[in-house]
Amino acid sequence: MTVQIRFTANKAMTNALKQLKTKYRFMSDTEIFKLAFSRFYHEEMDLDENGFTAKDRAELREALADLEEGKNIEGPYENAQEFLDSLKNDN
C-alpha cells in the first residue's frame, strides 16, 4: 500500500530545504526533504540547548527528585549476576 501526503511548505521549510540541498548535494531530493522536515519539526517542538522538550525536562526533574529521596533505586550490586537476578525478580 502506498500513502501519498501533500502539503504546502512554508518559508521556514523552504529555507531549510535550500540550505540542505547546498550542503548535501549527494543526497536525493527525498532524503533531503526528510532531513529538512525532521529539522523543522524539532524546531517547532521548542527544544532546549540539550535537545529536551518541556515534558522531557519535567520527567527528568521528577526522576532526580525521586533519586534524592531514595525512591525507585536499586543496588548497589556485588556483581553482574546479582543485577541480572534482580531484573528477573521484578517480573
How far apart CA 60 and CA 51 sit, in angstroms, is 13
User: What percentage of the chain reaches a pLDDT higher than 90?
Assistant: 0
Per-residue pLDDT, averaged over 67-85, amounts to: 85
Residues 38 and 16 in one domain: yes
Residues 38 and 61 in one domain: no
Q: What pTM, to 2 d.p., does this model score?
A: 0.37
| 40-47 own/partner pairs: CB under 8 Å, 24+ apart | 40/12, 40/13, 40/16, 43/12
* 6 — pLDDT class (breaks 50, 70, 90): confident
How far apart CA 62 and CA 67 sit, in angstroms, is 9
* Residue 42: closest CA among 16, 19, 23: 16
Residues 13 and 33 in one domain: yes
Q: Structural domain of residue 31, as residue ranges?
A: 9-44
Residues 40 and 69 in one domain: no
Domain count for the chain, please give it.
2
Instruction: Give domain status of residue 15, yes or no.
Output: yes
Per-residue model confidence as pLDDT tens digits over 38-61: 766 665 566 677 767 788 888 889
How far apart CA 57 and CA 4 sit, in angstroms, is 35
